[in-house]
Each structure stands twice: as structure tokens, then as C-alpha cells.
């Protein structure tokens, strides 16, 4: 009957009945303790905590026992084993808290076994539930601790990532670069940079890593590291890949494949020649296309190219765009399309173009025009880079 040894307390002044019952229950695998009365149990209370109590008890005895065992959980069920078979005594015992009632003498011990088994099952279910609850509370505590640690890591990662971004409102030779970035989570998969390569050349790139969060942010670290290395190589005259957007994209593609992270990105890379006033650029499936504006008229740049980090030997065409006086170029991630209220993708692209054309192309004005200042929950990362000529 007992898979594990439970403690049974027999309270009965009848020595013969108690002895036979103790022998039987002991043979069934229980640890059995006998007391002649509730008063006798009071002296043993510190030594034994019963799982089940069975005995010849009155209603007052039941109340006294439960008062003695008020700090014990679960409260041990009480099975009355009494010669008093009238309805009044049975109902009185049950109303006082007894769980079952067996009339003496028991002709078939199976009746006793079944009564005790029912109570044992309830005790075990309670204990299992208590253990589940404890395990769940422990798991929740560990989960909260892990979540707090993760959030701390995410905040630290965001701080590092923001530190990797270029300064705002930077001007090179009369051309101002500015940006804004709004991650949907702590970390962003959008990344960009701009920097001077020489007295007459400025390079920049804009990347949107697939997905968002920590795994995508790791790729932005790789991207920053690679662009810094290529700039150092240019200064050392060991490599000039950073001067050519198509070759730069191929280098990024190769590095990303080598990491085996399973990540790819879309990318736009460009180099502005201040002497010839020409923008050389290459596309790595960047979407939406950058918006070029001249004299109040805006249009999407032409170009195409495969995503970066998917193919072993991709071809990235090199394009050239003459820079008219007073030009401005706005580059954004596809997360911006998510906050534009339009039905189809074509309508969203048209709305983006019109919004850029109607607004001044400073970052504060673009944020206001697209309503980014009032958006608290973003479906995707949003980043905007503005490049505009300040002296004409």
C-alpha cells in the first residue's frame, strides 16, 4: 500500500484492537505509532508528526488534535474507528473535521486499507502540489534573476553600441552628416557610420542586419571593426578597399560568411569625392532606396545588388551620382515604412518620398515629419541618416 513510509498514529484505548491494527499496518509498509489517548499524544507530539491519524475519537478529541497540529501542513486527515454507529455520532465527527468513519469491529481489513489509501492519496497529492509550487517559485526566482542579468547585459550592450555610432551633426568640407536611431529593443540591428578618408573623400555606409536584438547587434560590432581595419589599411597603404563601395561590400560579405552566424544584411555604401562632386555608391539589397533631393525635388536613387552575407561570390555594381549644389541625401531603414500609415508597400514608398520632399532634411525635422517623437513601441528598428550640403 505505502510506496514510501508514511507515519500513522493510532489513538485507541483498546490495546488488543490497537495491537492488531498496528501489526497489519506495519506489514503494509507504514511507520505506526500508538497512543491510548489524545493526552498521551500530547507528550509525543515533539517526536512524531503523523501523516494520518486513525482512532476511536470523539468530536472534542478531533478538535483537540487539530489544535495541537495547527502548525502542521498538510493537516493530517483523521479516520474515526469507533463502535458508535449512530448517525448523530458519525455526522458530529465529520462536522468536527474527520475525513472518514469506520465502524468497529472491521470485518474485512480491506475496508480499513481502502479508507487509509484514500487519505494517503490526498496527502501525497498535496505534497506533490507543494513540491511543484516550490519548484515553480524557485524556477521563477531563477528566471527573474536571469532576466535582470539579461536586461543589465542588454543595457550595457546598448551603451556600447551607441558609443560605436558616429557623432551627430558632423561636417566635412561643407557637407553635414547627422542621424537618429530608435531600436525596437535595447539593441539594434541598424547601423551606420561616416568618416573622412582624405582631404577630398568622405565614406559612409548604412546597414540593416536581418532580425533585431542581441544577435543582430553582434554583427554591427563586426561591421564597425572591419571598417576601422580598412581605414587603418588605407593609412598604411596596405589596402584601398574602403575607397571603393563595391569592394567594401565584398569584404563585408566575406567576413560575414566566415563568422558562420547565419546572419545577412542589406547595405548601402558610398564615397563622396569633394573635388569632383561625385557620389560613388553600391547597393547590397538596401530597401527603401536612399532619397536624393535637389531644389525641392526628391527621387529615389537607382541601383541594385544582392544582400550581404548570403552568397559566396556576389557582384555589387558601382554607381555614380553627380552632386548638384545644395543636394541632400536621406537614407533610412525599412523599419520607417512600418510606421507610415498606408495600405500597400508602393503607397508607403510614395508616402516616404513625399514626406522627405515636403520636410526640411535635418534630423529633427524628419523625426517630426514621420512622427517618431511620439512613437513609444516600434515594430522594428528605425534609423535615419541625413547627408546635406550646408554651403552652396
* Res 250: pLDDT: 97
Instruction: Please write the tens of the pLDDT for every residue from 256-266.
Output: 999 887 889 99
* Res 1: pLDDT: 44
Question: Does residue 189 form part of some domain?
Answer: yes
Query: Does the pLDDT of residue 100 top 60, yes or no?
Result: yes
Of the residues 78, 112, 133, the one at which a domain ends: 133
* Res 291: pLDDT: 97
Stretch 193-209: mean pLDDT, rounded? 95
Q: Assess whether 86 and 180 both reside in one domain.
A: no
Question: Does residue 1 form part of some domain?
Answer: no
Query: Does the pLDDT of residue 136 top 80, yes or no?
Result: yes
**Phi, psi (5° rounding) for residue 240?**
-120, 25
Question: Does residue 141 form part of some domain?
Answer: no
CB within 8 A of 51, min separation 6: which ones?
A: 6, 7, 8, 76, 120, 123
Band (160; pLDDT cuts 50, 70, 90): confident
Q: Assess whether 170 and 101 both reside in one domain.
A: no
Q: Assess whether 96 and 231 both reside in one domain.
A: no
Query: Does the pLDDT of residue 378 top 90, yes or no?
Result: no
* Res 185: pLDDT: 66
Q: Assess whether 97 and 190 both reside in one domain.
A: no
* CATH code, 184: 3.60.40.10
What is this structure's pTM?
0.67
Question: Containing H/E element for 42?
Answer: helix 38-44
Decide: 335 and 382 in contact? Cβ < 8 Å: yes
Question: Does residue 263 form part of some domain?
Answer: yes
10, 29, 7: which is closest to 20 by C-alpha? 10
Set of cell numbers at residue 208: 540593416
* Res 46: pLDDT: 66
Q: Assess whether 125 and 179 both reside in one domain.
A: no
Question: Does residue 98 form part of some domain?
Answer: yes
Instruction: Please write the tens of the pLDDT for every residue from 39-73.
Output: 888 777 767 788 899 989 888 888 888 888 888 87
Question: Does residue 313 form part of some domain?
Answer: yes
* Res 70: pLDDT: 83
Question: Does residue 138 form part of some domain?
Answer: no
* CATH code, 85: 3.40.50.2300
Domain count of the chain?
Answer: 2
Query: Does the pLDDT of residue 197 top 80, yes or no?
Result: yes
Band (186; pLDDT cuts 50, 70, 90): low
Q: Assess whether 113 and 239 both reside in one domain.
A: no
Provide the residue range defining the domain that includes 217.
165-389
* Res 213: pLDDT: 63
Stretch 293-312: mean pLDDT, rounded? 94
* Res 3: pLDDT: 47
Q: What is the mean pLDDT of the chain?
A: 88
Instruction: Please write the tens of the pLDDT for every residue from 139-159.
Output: 998 888 887 877 776 676 676
Q: When comparing pLDDT for 263 and 387, which is higher?
A: 387
Q: Assess whether 90 and 204 both reside in one domain.
A: no
Decide: 251 and 233 in contact? Cβ < 8 Å: no
Whole-angstrom distance, CA of residue 90 vs CA of residue 278: 102
Q: Assess whether 224 and 110 both reside in one domain.
A: no
**Phi, psi (5° rounding) for residue 147?**
-65, -40
Question: Does residue 142 form part of some domain?
Answer: no
Q: Assess whether 193 and 233 both reside in one domain.
A: yes
Stretch 78-87: mean pLDDT, rounded? 88
Q: Assess whether 63 and 126 both reside in one domain.
A: yes
197, 279, 270: which is closest to 240 by C-alpha? 197
Whole-angstrom distance, CA of residue 56 vs CA of residue 228: 88
44, 2, 49: which is closest to 26 by C-alpha? 2
Query: Does the pLDDT of residue 89 top 90, yes or no?
Result: no
**Where do the H-state alpha helices sit in 165-292?**
214-236, 245-259
DSSP letters, 59-71, are HHHHHHHHHHTTT
* Res 282: pLDDT: 98
* Res 260: pLDDT: 82
Query: Does the pLDDT of residue 34 top 50, yes or no?
Result: yes
First to last CA, the chain: 96
Stretch 4-26: mean pLDDT, rounded? 85
How does strand 291-294 pair with strand 78-82?
A: unpaired
Decide: 355 and 370 in contact? Cβ < 8 Å: yes
Whole-angstrom distance, CA of residue 214 vs CA of residue 289: 26
* Res 131: pLDDT: 87
* Res 324: pLDDT: 96
Q: Assess whether 216 and 315 both reside in one domain.
A: yes
Band (212; pLDDT cuts 50, 70, 90): low
Q: Assess whether 375 and 304 both reside in one domain.
A: yes
Amino acid at each position: 500500500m505505502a510506496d514510501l513510509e508514511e507515519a500513522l498514529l493510532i489513538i485507541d484505548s483498546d490495546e488488543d484492537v490497537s495491537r492488531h491494527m498496528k501489526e497489519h499496518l506495519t506489514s503494509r509498509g507504514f511507520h505506526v505509532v500508538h497512543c491510548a489517548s489524545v493526552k498521551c499524544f500530547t507528550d509525543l507530539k515533539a517526536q512524531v508528526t503523523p501523516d494520518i491519524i486513525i482512532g476511536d475519537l470523539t468530536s472534542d478529541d478531533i478538535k483537540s488534535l487539530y489544535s495541537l497540529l495547527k502548525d502542521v501542513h498538510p493537516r493530517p486527515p483523521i479516520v474515526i474507528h469507533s463502535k458508535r454507529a449512530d448517525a448523530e455520532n458519525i455526522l458530529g465527527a465529520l462536522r468536527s473535521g474527520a475525513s472518514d468513519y469506520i465502524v468497529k469491529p472491521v470485518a474485512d481489513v480491506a475496508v480499513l486499507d481502502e479508507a487509509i489509501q484514500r487519505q494517503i492519496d490526498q496527502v501525497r497529492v498535496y505534497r506533490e502540489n507543494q513540491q511543484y509550487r516550490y519548484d515553480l517559485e524557485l524556477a521563477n526566482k531563477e528566471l527573474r534573476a536571469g532576466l535582470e542579468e539579461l536586461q543589465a547585459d542588454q543595457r550595457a550592450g546598448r551603451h556600447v553600441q551607441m558609443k560605436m555610432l558616429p557623432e551627430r551633426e558632423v561636417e566635412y568640407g561643407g557637407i553635414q552628416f547627422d542621424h537618429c536611431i530608435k531600436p525596437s529593443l535595447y539593441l539594434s540591428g541598424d547601423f551606420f557610420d561616416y568618416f573622412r578618408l582624405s582631404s577630398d573623400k568622405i565614406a559612409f555606409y548604412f546597414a540593416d542586419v536581418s532580425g533585431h536584438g542581441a544577435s543582430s547587434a553582434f554583427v554591427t560590432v563586426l561591421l564597425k571593426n572591419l571598417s576601422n581595419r580598412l581605414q587603418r589599411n588605407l593609412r598604411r597603404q596596405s589596402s584601398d578597399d574602403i575607397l571603393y563601395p563595391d569592394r567594401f561590400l565584398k569584404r563585408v560579405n566575406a567576413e560575414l560568411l566566415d563568422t558562420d552566424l547565419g546572419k545577412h544584411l542589406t547595405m548601402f555604401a558610398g564615397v563622396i569625392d569633394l573635388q569632383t562632386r561625385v557620389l560613388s555608391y553600391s547597393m547590397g539589397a538596401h530597401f527603401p532606396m536612399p532619397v536624393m533631393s535637389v531644389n525641392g525635388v526628391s527621387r529615389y536613387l537607382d541601383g541594385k545588388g544582392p544582400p550581404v552575407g548570403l552568397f559566396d561570390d556576389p557582384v555589387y555594381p558601382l554607381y555614380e551620382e553627380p552632386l548638384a549644389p545644395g543636394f541632400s541625401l536621406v537614407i533610412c531603414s525599412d523599419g520607417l515604412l512600418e510606421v507610415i500609415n498606408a495600405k500597400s508597400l508602393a503607397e508607403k514608398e510614395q508616402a516616404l518620398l513625399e514626406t522627405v520632399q515636403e520636410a526640411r532634411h535635418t534630423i529633427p525635422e524628419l523625426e517630426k515629419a514621420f512622427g517618431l517623437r511620439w512613437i513609444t513601441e516600434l515594430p522594428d528598428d528605425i534609423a535615419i541618416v541625413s547627408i546635406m550640403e550646408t554651403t552652396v
